[in-house]
Chains A and B, each alone.
Chain A
Amino acid sequence: MNYLSDGLVWLNDPLNWINPGGLLDRLREHLVICAWAVLMGCLVGWPLGIWLGHRGKGGGPVVVLANLTLAIPTLALLTILPLTPLGFGQLPVVVALTVFAVPPLLANAYTGVREVDPGIRDAARGMGLSGGQLLRQVELPLAVPYLAAGLRTAAVQVVATAALAAFVNGGGLGQVISAGFGIGMSNGGGGQIVAGGLVVAALALTVEAVLAGVQWLVTPRGLRTRARPGASTVV
């Protein structure tokens, strides 16, 4: 409890928020990195997942392969990418986070399009819709709840994982925690570590709550009682 109150004291000092490299700076970095990673994840995961689902073949192995990325430690990817031609800075961090955003986006998009009732699909064909029209007018609207669920899982995962970027000086809120460990427990680092932990956890929970609301809004009324497909993972 002592450390917890140290953390609250640290959070109550305005200087810790507005200093260069303070909480506000780190929060902005964190959000920018996450936004790029989720955006790139959507650009890769959604078209691929939707196409595989529409095609109906060959999606299984891709989804399994995407889930295998769970076994790769985030730390490893964050450490390895800067040593490749990507170089240092925020680019490798964004790429690493994109790798973690793609599996839930891909898997949910694939399942969403795949789960469309074959009867509905046949009816649309019978009405003379072409493959492209079927996708745009029938399959995609019905897959929206799944797409939203995938986005939520991916976004929360990215926000949580982005804290690890601090290991390689990639910026973000994890840097506050990492700096705290750098100072050391006995030199007052403990309070800063706890404060950083609280802020990162609060941000993750906020993002989760906001996106859960968005997901509820975009889900058609008739589908709202259904459980959210896909499970979230945090590494």
Chain B
Amino acid sequence: MLAVPADARPGNPWFSWTYVHENADTILEKLAFHAGLTARAVLIALVVAVPLAVVAYWWRPLTAPILALSSVLYTIPSLALLALVAPAVGTTRDLSVLIALVLYALLVLVRNTLAGLVQVPGPVRDAAAGMGYGRLSRLWRIELPLALPALLTGLRLATVSTVALVTIGAMIGNGGLGDLILGGFNHNFYRAEIITGTVLCVVLALLLDLLLAGLGWLLTPWTRGRRS
């Protein structure tokens, strides 16, 4: 148990423009690192997840094992995962955090992409086959576009949770805005630093979510009329 902060008086406000102003460089650097790490993790996960989902979709016997494995892996706590990855990879680089992040985003994306592919109606598949589409062109021209809304839902979920997860990297000093949150806690409970980190985290998550929602709106024009 920790001691009660000695300076929990007006001298330690929750919000402080002076803090933000004086530390703008550090804050921006942490923010850029946070956003960059999130983007890298989600992009790598996307590149791996879509082919994996397609494999699970084409070879049905693989579907259940891949889904079961992904939900089991997903129950492993992030801190435990970081604890297992970090000693092997090294704690001085951001690679350990990146690996843990990619794994989590991967699971969400595989699950959602597969769900999207599986729910393509049978008649649609038959019609495509009847029109002479091969397996690959059917996937590319028909099944993937129809799975796109589910994929995008997964992508938004993965992105928002990745933004929140990056902060765990603060454990090994690579947490982006998490460094501010934990740093403020360790710097004699400096509230302005904690709140700045938190608010920027939530704002970043919401911005990225909106960005992806907009992207989804652009990419799936056929769903617009059906929105309630």
Residues of A whose CB lies within 8 Å of any CB of B are 3-4, 6, 70-76, 79-80, 82-83, 87-89, 156, 159-161, 163-164, 166-169, 174, 177-178, 180-181, 185, 190, 193-194, 196-198, 200-201, 204-205, 208, 231-235
- Can you offer 5 A-B residue contacts whose CB atoms are under 8 A? A6-B87, A79-B182, A79-B185, A168-B2, A197-B81
Instruction: Judge whether B198 and A73 touch: CB under 8 Å.
Output: yes
- Looking at chain B's contact residues, is the secondary structure mostly helix, strand, loop, or mixed? helix
Instruction: Judge whether B161 and A233 touch: CB under 8 Å.
Output: yes
Residue from A76, A168, A234 with most neighbouring chain B CB atoms (10 Å): A76
Instruction: Judge whether B1 and A71 touch: CB under 8 Å.
Output: no
Instruction: Judge whether B194 and A80 touch: CB under 8 Å.
Output: yes
In whole Å, how far is A186's beta carbon from the nearest beta carbon of chain B? 11
Report the nearest B residue to A157, measured CB to CB. Answer: B75
> Which residues of the other chain, B, contact A88 by a CB distance below 8 angstroms?
1-4
Instruction: Judge whether A74 and B72 touch: CB under 8 Å.
Output: no
- Looking at chain A's contact residues, is the secondary structure mostly helix, strand, loop, or mixed? helix
Instruction: Judge whether A201 and B198 touch: CB under 8 Å.
Output: no
B4 partner, pick from A87, A166, A167, beta carbons under 8 A: A87
In the complex, A75 Cα to B183 Cα: how many Å? 11
Quick one: given A83-B191, A193-B86, A193-B87, are A201 and B171 in contact (CB under 8 Å)?
Answer: no
Instruction: Judge whether B76 and A201 touch: CB under 8 Å.
Output: yes
**With A73-B164, A201-B81 already in contact, 10 other A-B pairs whose C-beta atoms are closer than 8 Å:** A4-B88, A71-B160, A73-B167, A73-B201, A83-B8, A83-B194, A88-B1, A164-B79, A168-B185, A177-B83
Instruction: Judge whether A70 and B168 touch: CB under 8 Å.
Output: no
> Which residues of the other chain, A, contact B181 by a CB distance below 8 angstroms?
73, 75-76, 79
Residues of B whose CB lies within 8 Å of any CB of A are 1-5, 8, 71-72, 74-84, 86-88, 90-91, 104, 111, 157, 160-161, 163-165, 167-168, 170-172, 175, 177-178, 181-182, 184-185, 189, 191, 194-195, 197-198, 201-202, 205-206, 209
In the complex, A83 Cα to B185 Cα: how many Å? 9
> Which residues of the other chain, B, contact A75 by a CB distance below 8 angstroms?
167-168, 170, 175, 178, 181-182
In whole Å, how far is A214's beta carbon from the nearest beta carbon of chain B? 15
Instruction: Judge whether B74 and A194 touch: CB under 8 Å.
Output: no
In the complex, A65 Cα to B125 Cα: how many Å? 37
> Which residues of the other chain, A, contact B178 by a CB distance below 8 angstroms?
73, 75
> Which residues of the other chain, A, contact B171 by a CB distance below 8 angstroms?
167, 177-178, 181
Instruction: Judge whether B78 and A235 touch: CB under 8 Å.
Output: yes
Instruction: Judge whether B198 and A194 touch: CB under 8 Å.
Output: no
Residue from B1, B3, B104, B182 with most neighbouring chain A CB atoms (10 Å): B1
